[in-house]
Structure 1
Amino acid sequence: MNQENSLISIIVPVYNIEEYICDCLESVKAQSYSNFECLIIDDCGHDNSIQLARELLKSWEHDNRFKIIQREENGGLSAARNTGIDYSSGDYIYFLDGDDKIMPQALEALLSMAYKHPGVQMVQGNVVYENKKEVWQFKQSDFPEYSNNREWIRTQMLEWKIAISSWNKLYRSDYLKTNNLRFCEGIIHEDVKWCWDNQKHLTTIAFCDYQSYWYRTGNQTSIMHDTDKTKSAISFLSIYHLIKNDITDKKELKFIREYILPYKVSLHRWAYSKNRKCIKKKLQGIIKHSCANCTTSRCLMLLLLLYFFPFNIYKINKR
């Protein structure tokens, strides 16, 4: 591939973000690197997001780099991203949430790093936050510019030292498609499952210190601001159920013990859930299945503790 003509597919899911979609698309339009396609995935929202996007594209005299792809029905963020992957034709794929935006040299900086390390499967960019509060940023001094040490990469991902988010990462398209990497549909916190799947396959990574992504923290309609954490807790339990039979070593077991079951389900989600009976029912089904399928004793114990002592399990697990 030649850096001059590498095509980047930018995938932008759109669902009820009429306040932000124009800012997002204008940030793509303003990129210093121009060889991209921007796939705007209409996930059948109820506001004017797509109409605003159409009007904006019309004002640009139908810049053919921007394409609106309409789904037949609402499927959630995972389904929208998967639709984007299916329609993408780029050498690289970049996920951008429609309520965020990217900085002017984002694509150029990430692609430059990709070409500096030929064949690298993923380039991680840095982030700037709307409220200036650091949520996850990396310092170049704490990470190598490039690594092909698969075990080091797995450790960083499983311990969440590399952000689990799928956005602000430049992926080689052939890496995603050859390994059939897809987002898990029907759940929220889909990036946790995405992280798990990627650590199974990723063998090369590079880090770009440029703050390429502007993350919005003030969108009160986002999942992150939902005060009822029932769906959140159930999604983490669903993720556990999906990956529990795919554990191959202690690193992956630690990921489940410390990041999925006790912390994500009980410590915060349980306390702020309005439908705990629903969580209990989900737990019952998983416990029955785990007993029948010889789940590791440590995980089974955590499930039982979650069921009977949800508020105390995090402290118990950390001892």
Structure 2
Amino acid sequence: MNDTVDISIIIPVYHTDPAQLRTALASVTSLTVPYECVVVFDGEPEPALADVVNEFDETYVRALMIEHAGVSVARNAGIEAAHGRWLTFLDSDDRLIGEGLESLVRFGVAVDCQIVQGVYLKESNGMLERCALTDSTHRYAGEQGLSDFMAATLEVDRGVALAWSKIYDRGFILQSGVRFDPALSVDEDTLFVLDAVAKADAIGFNPVDMYAYQRHEESQVMTFREDYAQSVRIALNKMKEHVDRFGDRKVQEAYLQHVVFYVLLLMLHYVFNAANGWSTKERRAAFKRILDDPMYAYAIRHAHLDSFGLGKRISVFALRLRSYGLMKRICAIRDRQLGKTGNVVAMTGQ
């Protein structure tokens, strides 16, 4: 390990808009602590993308290429190639907030944590959400503290489930063997975080803005994928294996909320996604098929909705009624909301 590098930023790249990659890399160069940026090309890069990387000082920004295998393999390759005391992940169409990231590094050293969580901003068509676990610094340690954080990882509205907006002690990640699961194309972030939390001694939270997530039409959650329902089911089954292994009741209850959240995503981005081209009969069949799935049906009936906002609670009410018409209207409203501009929402989970 190179002790002169405080933080390694890992950026997986696959068919990214060169302008977005340039913005991501430019945000990294705002750091004033010793850093390195490892750009992992998931397959042979387009010349324009390689040219973007070459615009930046090779002392701080370097690239490696792997055979195309997906974001999980690319991130894992970045973990192995990094030299920093800390690791963080940046998607190629997002940006870091340098001052906040540096605050996490200082905080992690000061309170002796293996993972430190910050705040991320979600930007979508002029809407801005600030996603924060709480509003003050905190250190999670001991059985109770780690259980609380692990449960928060599965309570999606608390802003903890994603691999980014955190820093990780690189030595801890290497020694623990925690890696992204290449078999998953959905929810791989949450499983990575959950496994890391399970092996950590202490986790910190510092309520500073350190990451800006750009949600746009090309984002995975905004497009239609024929295999999305199957991918969600595979991911949730894998997650349940890990949750059951922990044997923590609070975490198991949080898992039910996690399942319900994914049912809502299935409704919005799968069943009622206009891009799927389905007839009303096909949509109704998919709606019924999901609600009849025993895992989904149980979670919808039994999940506590403590971490859900009002909008999601209303949506769950529609699911419990099995109301196709109401859910269709809710999804249409949500689609319009994603197209509105000028809204700012603060999300704080307590």
TM range (shorter): 0.7 to 0.9
Q: Quick check: 1:306–1:313 contact (8 Å CA) kept in 2?
A: no
Q: Which amino acid aligns with 1:179?
A: S
Q: Quick check: 2:161–2:190 contact (8 Å CA) kept in 1?
A: yes
Which residues of 2 match residues 1-319 of structure 1 at below 5 A? 5-18=4-17, 19-33=19-33, 35-44=34-43, 47-48=46-47, 50-57=49-56, 62-71=57-66, 73-117=67-111, 119-130=112-123, 131-134=126-129, 136-141=131-136, 144-159=137-152, 160=155, 161-188=158-185, 189-218=187-216, 220-228=217-225, 230-246=226-242, 247=244, 248-260=247-259, 262-264=260-262, 266-269=263-266, 272-273=270-271, 306-307=292-293, 315-318=300-303
User: C-alpha separation between the residues in 2 aligned to 1:155 and 1:306?
Assistant: 31
Q: Quick check: 1:305–1:313 contact (8 Å CA) kept in 2?
A: no
User: C-alpha separation between the residues in 2 aligned to 1:255 and 1:168?
Assistant: 21
How far is the alpha carbon of 1:171 from its aligned partner?
0.6
How far is the alpha carbon of 1:258 from its aligned partner?
2.9
User: C-alpha separation between the residues in 2 aligned to 1:309 and 1:166?
Assistant: 25
User: C-alpha separation between the residues in 1 aligned to 2:47 and 2:221?
Assistant: 22
How far is the alpha carbon of 1:158 from its aligned partner?
2.1
TM-score, normalised via structure 2 length: 0.70
**Which ranges in structure 2 are unaligned for 5 or more consecutive residues?**
279-288, 304-319, 321-350
Q: Quick check: 2:119–2:159 contact (8 Å CA) kept in 1?
A: no
User: C-alpha separation between the residues in 2 aligned to 1:68 and 1:224?
Assistant: 27
Distance change (3 Å), C-alpha of 1:16 and 1:150: farther
Deviations 1:113-168 (A, max 9, x none): 12221x31111111233334216224424xx4323234223323324235111112
Secondary structure at 1:20 match in 2: helix
How far is the alpha carbon of 1:101 from its aligned partner?
0.8
**Which stretches of structure 1, 4 residues or more, deviate above 4 A after TM superposition?**
45-49, 273-276, 312-315
Q: CA RMSD in A?
A: 3.1
Q: Count residues in correspondence.
A: 278
Which residue matches 2:343?
A: none
TM-score, normalised via structure 1 length: 0.76
Q: Which amino acid aligns with 2:23?
A: D
Which residue matches 1:282?
A: none
User: C-alpha separation between the residues in 2 aligned to 1:187 and 1:125?
Assistant: 25
How far is the alpha carbon of 1:257 from its aligned partner?
2.8
How far is the alpha carbon of 1:87 from its aligned partner?
0.8
| More strand per residue | 2
User: C-alpha separation between the residues in 2 aligned to 1:242 and 1:149?
Assistant: 26
User: C-alpha separation between the residues in 1 aligned to 2:215 and 2:139?
Assistant: 30
Q: Quick check: 2:8–2:83 contact (8 Å CA) kept in 1?
A: yes
Distance change (3 Å), C-alpha of 1:48 and 1:231: farther
Q: Which amino acid aligns with 2:16?
A: I
How far is the alpha carbon of 1:308 from its aligned partner?
7.1
How far is the alpha carbon of 1:215 from its aligned partner?
1.5
Q: Quick check: 1:15–1:49 contact (8 Å CA) kept in 2?
A: no
Deviations 1:97-122 (A, max 9, x none): 111111232332111112221x3111
Distance change (3 Å), C-alpha of 1:267 and 1:108: closer
Secondary structure at 2:103 match in 1: helix
Which residue matches 1:289?
A: none
What percent of counterpart residues are identical? Answer: 22
